[in-house]
Structure 1
Amino acid sequence: MNSALKWMPLVAVIALATAGCARDGFYHDRNLDYGDAEENAPLVLPEGRDAERYRDAMPVPEVSGTRPAEEGVVEAPLPQALSPGGSLERGYVERRAVGDERWLVVGAEPATVWPELERFVLSRDLTVTASDSRRGILETDQARFSVRPALRSGDSEIRCEQGGTTQAACLTALERHFEARSMSPSAASLAAQRPDAQNRARFEQRGDDWQVILPFAADRLWAELSHQLERDFAVEGRRELLERDPASRSFLVGYLTRSERERGLLRSLATLNLGESTRQVRLVLEPRGPEETVLRAQGAGEEALSTEDQRELLERVAGLLR
């Protein structure tokens, strides 16, 4: 055999290996590709949409400071943690009410809200008579403040009461304070109060009916669902909030059920007419102890709501509390 041919396999292997190391070879180094990336235009909401109802699903924390590039590579500093101690979106302070009871819902965890509440008390020259950060109780000579996790993960409830009665002027002052200030990065022991998000809703099936067990008092749950349903169930012909009754802790909604959507799709394939119609469904809250409530979905007409439709609607409603 020709001696030159003996070295051909080795030459082929070396050529293949060196080709794989090249930038345009099989193993392309993508570490610097971000430098050629182009920024897309920001999304714009359609006219008529309330911008206050929308928040970033995955916000990117701001970074402080920059480092000079070395040989074309920039080493970015680590971003600040969002929670606990993240920044509160300016203006995200909302009210809730059940009967004569009033409180605030703030878009930050208790670990972040607590030190800001202490600053509020200090700025008002109130005399602190008792303070328990683990329980979220701050008592002064004029009012009793309390902080606790809200029903939605990452939010907090703030109350200002005296003798068990809501102090309207105090609540208004708190609302203005939290709207005007950005939350300072601070952590406190209240972070331990946040319940495990995986255990917030438990689905149970009894016969042909589904129900959701929620670890919240019925009055708090009704107030939060009233607010969330008003925002989410506002799509005509799909899902609408029709009535709400605090006395019976129930809501009447119009909802395009799963089975109706499937029937409408089959009809549209046959007749080119979608022909979908919503069902009236009553959502009922039933207390099962001081900190547990059962949520059920019942058909408001003569026709019962199917098992699949119950589950699908309850999953959507329970999802409003995440």
Structure 2
Amino acid sequence: MNSALKGLPLVALVAVTLAGCAKDGYYHDRNEDYAGAKVAAPLKLPETRDTSRYRDIMPVPEAAGQFYARESEFEAPLPQTMASSSAVNAGQVALRESAAGSWLVVGAPPAAVWPELERFSQMRGLQVTNKDASRGVISTADADIELRQGLRQGSSEIRCETAGQTNTLCLTELQSHLEARSASASIASMSAQQAPGAQSMELQKRGNDWVMIMPFAIDRAWAELNFQLSNNFDMQGRRELVSADETSKSFVIDYVTESERTRGFVDSLTSLSLWESTHRLNLTLTPQGSVTVMQVSSAEDETLSADDQRELLDFVSGLLR
């Protein structure tokens, strides 16, 4: 040992030794790197470059909705499932029904589904009277086939109608065709190459209350929400779908609100309830032009905080993403 270190206390000796290791030995102290970092000029690429070959490595999407400063302290939200049990996965086909009719939901964007509609009309020998790819419409002597963007990202909706009414035979045959093509991985493989184009839900604060704006007609919004709530609000004592009324476009649910989940021990003693309890809530859809607005309110004449409203609406919007 160096004679200059013999007189140092053990703690100081260890500190000196570790300092040397941090600088040149076993690990690198990044604090010094950050402290000495300098801003460099941005990299400039030649003007003659092929711009189609370049993109942002980590693009940041625009935020939908308004910034919200929570009324209470932040609490991490409940985790959502990686994939909803009712979600239509890539290439899958599902039937949706409402009082307004029936349609198919396909787990692929319209650009991937359109060639299959053309193939379907050719294989069935249908007499095509009009075909417009920009509008997603194939008109035949028997029915009109309409393709549109689905509610969920990367999905499509298909309708088969005759004189404005669902053509059940056309829809059934088309479902069989798409399921067969999906089984051969043709649709699924194409959907993986297409960028999702669905419009996103937006949460807005109106006065003291929060609402969710859905960029869809009310019949489509209600049918999809009815399907999703029926399949996902089935946890007894946590979240349950009590009733669904298509006439009034409303739902009644039992739900453990965020404030109920995060209340402290003292609040539990004060309320004489040590366990989390569900609250009966109303979800109501209202058409506003080309969009649908969903509001949440208490069905028990209780006050529902803005935090609780927003957390529930955010959870429900996750079912439609």
**TM (normalized to structure 1)?**
0.67
3-state DSSP of counterpart to 1:219? helix
State whether residues 116 and 184 of structure 1, in contact with CA within 8 Å, keep that contact through their aligned partners in structure 2.
no
State whether residues 287 and 293 of structure 1, in contact with CA within 8 Å, keep that contact through their aligned partners in structure 2.
yes
Higher relative contact order (CA 8 A, sep 6+): 2
Partner of 1:316 in structure 2?
Answer: 315
Partner of 1:15 in structure 2?
Answer: none
State whether residues 148 and 193 of structure 1, in contact with CA within 8 Å, keep that contact through their aligned partners in structure 2.
no
Partner of 1:37 in structure 2?
Answer: none
**RMSD over aligned Cα atoms:** 3.2
Partner of 2:85 in structure 1?
Answer: 53
- Percent identity between the two aligned chains: 47
Residues in 2 aligned to 1:264 and 1:141: alpha-carbon distance in whole angstroms: 66
Residues in 2 aligned to 1:236 and 1:267: alpha-carbon distance in whole angstroms: 24
- Is there any run of 5+ residues in structure 1 with no aligned partner, and where? 1-18, 28-50, 58-87
How does 1:81-160 map onto structure 2 within 5 Å? 88-89=90-91, 92-160=92-160
Residues in 2 aligned to 1:264 and 1:171: alpha-carbon distance in whole angstroms: 53
Pairing 1:231–2:223 present:
no
What is the one-letter code of the residue matched to 1:321?
Answer: L
The superposition leaves residues 41-92 of structure 1 with CA deviations (integer Å, 9 ceiling, x where unpaired) of: xxxxxxxxxx9927799xxxxxxxxxxxxxxxxxxxxxxxxxxxxxx44xx2
Partner of 1:209 in structure 2?
Answer: 209
3-state DSSP of counterpart to 1:181? helix
Displacement, 1:269? 9.6
Displacement, 1:97? 1.4
State whether residues 255 and 278 of structure 2, in contact with CA within 8 Å, keep that contact through their aligned partners in structure 1.
yes
Residues in 2 aligned to 1:151 and 1:105: alpha-carbon distance in whole angstroms: 9
Pairing 1:258–2:258 present:
yes
State whether residues 254 and 278 of structure 1, in contact with CA within 8 Å, keep that contact through their aligned partners in structure 2.
yes
Partner of 1:300 in structure 2?
Answer: 299
Partner of 2:168 in structure 1?
Answer: 168
State whether residues 149 and 193 of structure 1, in contact with CA within 8 Å, keep that contact through their aligned partners in structure 2.
no
- Is there any run of 5+ residues in structure 2 with no aligned partner, and where? 1-23, 29-82
Partner of 2:186 in structure 1?
Answer: 184
How does 1:283-298 map onto structure 2 within 5 Å? 283-289=283-289, 291-298=290-297
The superposition leaves residues 109-157 of structure 1 with CA deviations (integer Å, 9 ceiling, x where unpaired) of: 1111110111111111001111111110011111100110110011100
